[in-house]
Amino acid sequence: MQITMDTITNELGAAKVLELNAKLQQKKNSLRAELKEKGILQRGGKNDFDHYKYFSEAQYKELFTDLFSKHGLELKINEIDYLVFEGTEKQANGRMVKMEFYLMDTETGFFETSVLTGEGIDKGDKAGYKADTGALKYFLADTFMVATGDDPEEDSPQVKLRKASPKQISLLKSKYTGENMTKLLEANGIDVIEDLPLEKASEIISKLKGGQ
């Protein structure tokens, strides 16, 4: 049986849950304060394909293994969905994963959950690994305000918004016409289907295939 917050609340009572949650949030804040003292972390990874530096998975794991142990936290991860999509001409294999993260207070056993997606493209078989890594790094960076200098608004290869591929656009045009296409564009805040983000196109196509 999957343990949910409603289950915990029913078992322990709302007051106890609030107490345990407060302790967990205090530990998270203590960890954030320690990270803030470290300042902007040095990016040790280098992407030779697009020529940019980044804070690597190995650096994240080394950093948070120490911090989690010090602050009495533990992280467990479950993969709950996995989607294959077409990447780019040079890196044709695309993968998108949906991950569920359980952040636990090791002293009380109380936890909170977050669900995030990660995407990866590769010319070989590493797209799934990149997607997993992306989700993990985003969770850690967003939850604990990690300052690495990897600015998501910077105009660099690793953060540009990827649009739907020609094959995805062709498929969507065959499925959505007239008023249905208009509704699809309005729902996604775009003027033409060519501006649809790759991740959203993959999600829509996956739903279409699931309904067949």
Residue written as token pair 């020609």: 166
Calculate the average pLDDT of the chain. 84
Predicted pLDDT at 154:
43
Write out the residue limits of the CATH 3.30.390 domain(s) in the chain.
Answer: 5-144
- Amino acid at residue number 99: M
Render the burial of 47-79: b for 16+ CB within 10 Å, e for the rest.
eeeeebbbbbbebbeebbeebbeebbbebeeee
Helix orientation angle between 198-210 and 166-175, rounded to the nearest 10 degrees? 50
pLDDT-derived band at 9, boundaries 50, 70, 90:
low
Q: Is the pLDDT of residue 176 over 70?
A: yes
6 burial (CB, 10 Å; 0-12 / 13-18 / 19+) is exposed
Predicted pLDDT at 186:
85
Question: For residues 104 and 111, what is the distance between their CA atoms, to the nearest angstrom?
Answer: 4
Question: For residues 77 and 59, what is the distance between their CA atoms, to the nearest angstrom?
Answer: 18
CA angle 88, 137, 1 (to 5 degrees): 105
Domain 5-144 has CATH 3.30.390: yes
Question: For residues 118 and 101, what is the distance between their CA atoms, to the nearest angstrom?
Answer: 13
The first and second tokens of residue 115, run together, are: 């669900």
Q: Is the pLDDT of residue 145 over 90?
A: no
pLDDT-derived band at 144, boundaries 50, 70, 90:
very high
pTM for this prediction:
0.63
Q: What is the pLDDT of residues 14-45, one digit of tens each?
A: 888 889 999 999 999 999 999 988 887 777 77
Q: Among 142, 118, 136, which residue's Cα sits nearest to residue 28? A: 142
Q: Is the pLDDT of residue 159 over 80?
A: no
